[in-house]
Amino acid sequence: MRLLSWWARRLLSAVLTLFVVSVLIFAASRLMPGGFAEVVLGPFAGPDQRAAVSAKYGLDQSLVVQYGLWLAAAVKGDLGTSLLSGEPVAGEFLLRIPVTVELTVLGIAAAVLIGIPLGVYTAVRAGQRGGGALGRLAGGLGVSVPEFVLGSLVVFVFSRYALGLTVGGYRPLGEDVGANLRSMVLPAAVLSVFAIAVTARTTRDAVLNVLVEPYITASVARGEAPLAIIRRHVLRNASIPILVVLTTITAYLLGGAVIIENLFNLPGVGSYVVQAVGRRDYAVVQAGVLLAAAVFVVLTMLADATSGVLDPRLGKAVR
Amino acid sequence: MTTWRRLDPLSRTGLVCLVVLVLAALAGSVFGLGGNPDGIVGSRLAPPSWQWPLGTDQLGRSMLPRVLEGIGTTLLLSTLAVLVTASLSTVLGIVAGYRGGWLAELVLRMVDVLYSFPTIVLAILVAAVLGPGQAATLCSIVLVTIPLMTRLVRTAAMTVSERDYITSAVISGVGWWRILARHVLPNVSGTIAVQGTYALSVGILVEGGLSFLGFGVQPPESSLGVLIQQGGIYLLAAPWLLAFPGVVLVVAILAINVFGDGLRDRLEPRESRSLV
């Protein structure tokens, strides 16, 4: 019962956050320079044409009404019409989502398979001699090299020397699996460096916090094998921060692997939004940002619900 | 000086790197090291040589003064933004942590909303509203770094306000302003320092990413992000255009992170244990 009311509160706060987010995005889109009509018609349109466009896009109504219409449509899955192509934005997003999702899945898989074991290992070894400064430096480097620098380096190396992988030249997964993977491995690898480093750091911190608990001392005293202690006591108790960081990375990758998609010419969601800002296609920008924020809010809510299951103490803490 | 003595060698190296970068930027802007960053001095896309230590760019401008200018712009923008973030977060976090109630709830909600935008997406939205440039970059860094810092300052302030010395100050009739300034603020200053350091590295990342996408600092002005973006265009013909600002950017971020780690270990020490 307590857990249920905790989930209900969490759901309510997520809805509230999303509402404020949508107001903010709507306000931002109205503050952007050069209004809607300006972009559609160009500078030489007469007043009649302006009025016609305003009527067509509902710009002659009050801002509150406009916001209400926009939100109602967005909830139903209608994200508006691209001002430049005249096509529905939602359709364009649907075409591009698989690319971004594939990139995200590859990045998160690397974070889980490499980042978590690395974090546990460095935490357990933390008290011992050697490797400390080197591990910190390597971890720090992974977090510190921006994706546009690492990505550029990768583009340079693989453009100059053909090493079997291609830079750009994206092919859909359904069309040719081999060619698709050859074009996705490099961007995914660049993204995963950051994902692995952040996951490893968080895992290390979480594990270090668990290792000082009395029940670990007790397990060591009982003579349990180190691997068993890690599996049974350490990982379970360290799982919540790790879950949170993996969720955040997932949401960020889904909402904005913007730079990597741009650099490697991948037709994903992020590169679409960036092009739209350049072309002042505000309907697309508005929809893209809303989508990214919504993904984040929903994912963190799900992660919180999972945390409640992983650690029953959380649900009980509610007053 | 005491801070210096307490830091481990790696963090000291980070601090030294930072000081060197600041000095290099100053040497460029105040003493004109490397010459005029905007002057066309020689052939286009010339590789590094004695005459032009970092080569020349697509217009024949020497890269050395441009990189120095870029370091200055990037560090200045990020530092300014972090100062704004630190001031706002300190006020919001301390008030929310100490006062609690609906005020805290409001602050946390606002912070949650900002937190829901992926970093670079929020920065792009800001750039779309304000128009690309330094103001948009500064504003983006502030909005991106404020949520985490406010949350952590609030948590720290909450812990502090439950301590006995605060209770006794309240009983002694000390005014709330004095309590916040004299008792709470000094005790959360460690958190502010550590988070400020991390925020600085995030700031440099945001400036770089935004300028790389073309929405940040605008050429002909130079910043590390702009130089990397421009270098990317001539990547295969003249890789040094990207290599030098890229390396400098990585060194700056790494130095700040390593220094921040050392600072955190000093201020929030934690023991470790062996599993066998």
Closest-approach residue (CA) in chain B for A225: B276
What is each CA distance from B232 to A138, B235, B238, in whole angstroms?
A: 26, 5, 9
- Determine, for residues B250 and A145 on separate chains, whether the beta-carbon distance falls below 8 Å: yes
How remote is the C-alpha of A106 from its chain's centroid? Answer: 13
For residue A162, what are its two tokens? 């053909």
Mean pLDDT in chain A? Answer: 82
Cα–Cα dist A319/B266, whole Å = 35
B261: left (phi over 0), alpha (psi -120 to 50) or beta: alpha
pLDDT category, A318, cuts 50, 70, 90?
Answer: very low
Average pLDDT (A285-290) is: 89
E strand or H helix at B206, and its extent?
helix B185-213
pLDDT in tens, B172-224: 988 888 898 888 998 888 889 989 999 999 999 999 999 998 898 988 888 99
For residue A307, what are its two tokens? 């945390």
Residue (of A103, A111, A141, A120) closest to A256 by Cα position = A103
Q: Is B265 on the interface with A (CB under 8 A)?
A: no
At residue B235, the pLDDT reads 83
- Determine, for residues B215 and A229 on separate chains, whether the beta-carbon distance falls below 8 Å: no
DSSP string over A40-92: HH-TT--HHHHHHHHHHTTTTS-HHHHHHHHHHHHHTT---B-TTT-SBHHHH
Identify the three-state secondary structure at position B62. Answer: strand
pLDDT category, B140, cuts 50, 70, 90?
Answer: very high
Q: Is B258 on the interface with A (CB under 8 A)?
A: yes
Domain assignment of residue B134, given as a range: 8-30+62-267
User: Which single residue is written with the structure tokens 């961007």?
Assistant: A187
> Is there a domain that residue B100 lies in?
yes
State the alpha helices, DSSP H only, in B162-184: 164-171, 176-178
Q: Which of A233, A277, A298 best probes binding to B when mutated, by most B CB atoms within 10 angstroms?
A: A277
At residue A129, the pLDDT reads 55
**Which of chain A's residues have a Cβ under 8 Å away from the Cβ of B231?**
152
**Which of chain A's residues have a Cβ under 8 Å away from the Cβ of B258?**
136-137, 140
Mean pLDDT in chain B? Answer: 86
Average pLDDT (B90-109) is: 89
User: Which B-chain residues 162-181 have CB contacts (< 8 A) with chain A?
Assistant: none
> Is there a domain that residue B99 lies in?
yes
pLDDT in tens, A132-180: 666 667 777 888 888 889 988 888 888 877 676 767 667 777 777 778 8
HSE-CB for B37 with a 13 A CA cutoff:
24
CB A68 within 8 A of CB A22: no
E strand or H helix at A240, and its extent?
helix A235-256
Q: Which of B117, B194, B210 best probes binding to A when mutated, by most A CB atoms within 10 angstroms?
A: B117
At residue B206, the pLDDT reads 92
> Is there a domain that residue B42 lies in?
no
Q: Which of B115, B125, B248 best probes binding to A when mutated, by most A CB atoms within 10 angstroms?
A: B125
Task: Give how far B109 is from chain A: nearest CA, Å.
Answer: 7
Task: Give how far A112 is from chain B: nearest CA, Å.
Answer: 21
Backbone dihedral angles phi then psi of residue B9, each to the nearest 5 degrees? -55, -40
The closest CB to that of B232, out of A152, A216, A220, belongs to: A152
At residue B20, the pLDDT reads 92
For residue B22, what are its two tokens? 């600041």
**Which of chain A's residues have a Cβ under 8 Å away from the Cβ of B8?**
133
> Is there a domain that residue B35 lies in?
no
CB A220 within 8 A of CB B276: yes
B139 vs B8: which has the higher pLDDT: B139
**What are the counts of helices (DSSP H) followed by strands (DSSP E) for chain B?**
11, 0
Residue range(s) of every CATH 1.10.3720.10 domain in chain A: 97-317
Q: Is B274 on the interface with A (CB under 8 A)?
A: yes
CB A244 within 8 A of CB A303: yes
- Determine, for residues B121 and A292 on separate chains, whether the beta-carbon distance falls below 8 Å: yes
pLDDT in tens, A5-60: 878 888 888 899 999 999 999 888 888 776 666 666 666 777 777 777 777 777 77
At residue A42, the pLDDT reads 67
Q: What share of chain A has pLDDT > 70, as a percent? A: 87
pLDDT in tens, B11-49: 888 899 999 999 988 888 888 777 777 777 777 777 787
CATH number at residue B181: 1.10.3720.10
The closest CB to that of A144, out of B125, B257, B274, belongs to: B257
The answer, yes or no, to whether the previous bond of A146 is cis (omega within 30 of 0) is no
> Is there a domain that residue B198 lies in?
yes
- Determine, for residues B253 and A144 on separate chains, whether the beta-carbon distance falls below 8 Å: yes
Q: Is B133 on the interface with A (CB under 8 A)?
A: no
**Which of chain A's residues have a Cβ under 8 Å away from the Cβ of B120?**
256, 258-259
**Which of chain B's residues have a Cβ under 8 Å away from the Cβ of A273?**
121, 124
At residue B79, the pLDDT reads 95
- Determine, for residues B236 and A159 on separate chains, whether the beta-carbon distance falls below 8 Å: yes
At residue B80, the pLDDT reads 96
Contacts of B178 (CB under 8 A, 6+ apart): B169
Q: Is B5 on the interface with A (CB under 8 A)?
A: no
> Is the pLDDT score of B78 beyond 50?
yes
**Which of chain B's residues have a Cβ under 8 Å away from the Cβ of A133?**
8-10
- Determine, for residues A256 and B116 on separate chains, whether the beta-carbon distance falls below 8 Å: no
**Which of chain B's residues have a Cβ under 8 Å away from the Cβ of A274?**
124, 213
> Domain count of chain B?
1
User: In the beta sheet, which residues pair with residue A69?
Assistant: none
A232: left (phi over 0), alpha (psi -120 to 50) or beta: alpha
Closest-approach residue (CA) in chain A for B230: A152
Average pLDDT (A82-100) is: 84
- Mean pLDDT is lowest, of A118-122, B43-47, B95-99, for B43-47
Identify the three-state secondary structure at position A131. Answer: coil
**Which of chain B's residues have a Cβ under 8 Å away from the Cβ of A128?**
274
> In this structure, what DSSP letter does residue A111 have?
I
- Determine, for residues A211 and B249 on separate chains, whether the beta-carbon distance falls below 8 Å: no
The closest CB to that of A208, out of B205, B249, B272, belongs to: B272
CATH fold of A97-317 reads: MetI-like fold (1.10.3720)
> Is there a domain that residue B50 lies in?
no
pLDDT category, A319, cuts 50, 70, 90?
Answer: very low
Q: Is B246 on the interface with A (CB under 8 A)?
A: yes
The closest CB to that of A296, out of B118, B120, B201, belongs to: B118
For residue B242, what are its two tokens? 């990207």
Q: Is B234 on the interface with A (CB under 8 A)?
A: no
Q: What is the CA radius of gyration of chain A?
A: 24
User: Which B-chain residues 134-163 have CB contacts (< 8 A) with chain A?
Assistant: none
- Determine, for residues B250 and A146 on separate chains, whether the beta-carbon distance falls below 8 Å: yes
